[in-house]
Amino acid sequence: MDGVIVIAVDGPVASGKGTLARHLAARTGLRHLDSGMIYRAVATLVLEDGADAGNAQACVRAAERLATADLERPGLRDQEIGSMASRIAAHREVRAALVEFQRCFGTTPPGAVIDGRDIGTVVFPDADVKFFVTAEARVRAERRHRELVARGETIDFSNVLEEIRERDRRDSERAWAPLRQADDAVAIDTTALDAAAAAQMALDIVCQRLGALSVLS
């Protein structure tokens, strides 16, 4: 990847990886891709087709026709879409179909900060810098619950916590490309860190690893 810098940010839902990745992209001048939005966009396409998340072939067909514009669709962050996206992501064929989409994005100069579940292990195992962002399940559920309430959704905290734990289980136990920390990834636990502190920690590590990188002030 000559002339291109790729930073991989993996972790479970609501760990703060997206906020951290956006901060890194803004400070480094790299592009940002939230790979979770890819699976959410595929979920909306599957719904439009009248298909189900358990239908692997229908999910693959939706993944193969995914366009960048689909990532801007309204409602992608809805709880229902997120849950369906997690089930769709369990299909190996779907993940394989979307790897090329992500690699094309990441290798377009000057590079990118990409966050997801398997960026540093499968999509970009040779990423220049890798992070694994995590936090305790209850803390992540509190963050997610606040986000949903702020958007006007009505949902019990207990349901959000249950969904968080179920998504963790699906993501970590799937047979192909499970959620796990890459051997060479730097772990950042955000349980007791605010977004600014976590992002600064990651930025300091990027600067140490890539001394020649021009970081924006």
User: H or E element: which one contains 215?
Assistant: none
Query: What percent of the chain has a predicted confidence (pLDDT) above 90?
Result: 83
Quote the pLDDT of residue 217.
37
Q: Buried b vs exposed e over 32-65: b needs ≥16 C-beta within 10 Å? A: bbbbbbbbbbbbbbbeeeeeebeeeebbbbbbee
Quote the pLDDT of residue 201.
97
Quote the pLDDT of residue 80.
87
pLDDT tens readout for residues 3-45: 899 999 999 999 999 999 999 999 999 999 999 999 999 999 9
Q: Which amino acid is at 213?
A: L
Name the band, by pLDDT with cuts 50, 70 and 90, for residue 215: very low
Q: Which two tokens stand for residue 6?
A: 């790729």
Quote the pLDDT of residue 176.
83
Q: Is the pTM of this model over 0.85?
A: yes
Quote the pLDDT of residue 2.
63
Backbone angles phi, psi at 113, to 5 degrees: -105, 120
Place of tokens 């760990």: 15
Lowest mean pLDDT among 16-20, 140-144, 174-178: 174-178
Name the band, by pLDDT with cuts 50, 70 and 90, for residue 1: low
pLDDT, the chain, mean: 93
Q: State the alpha helices, DSSP H only, in the chain.
A: 17-28, 35-48, 56-64, 79-88, 92-106, 137-150, 157-173, 195-209
pLDDT at 212 over 60: no
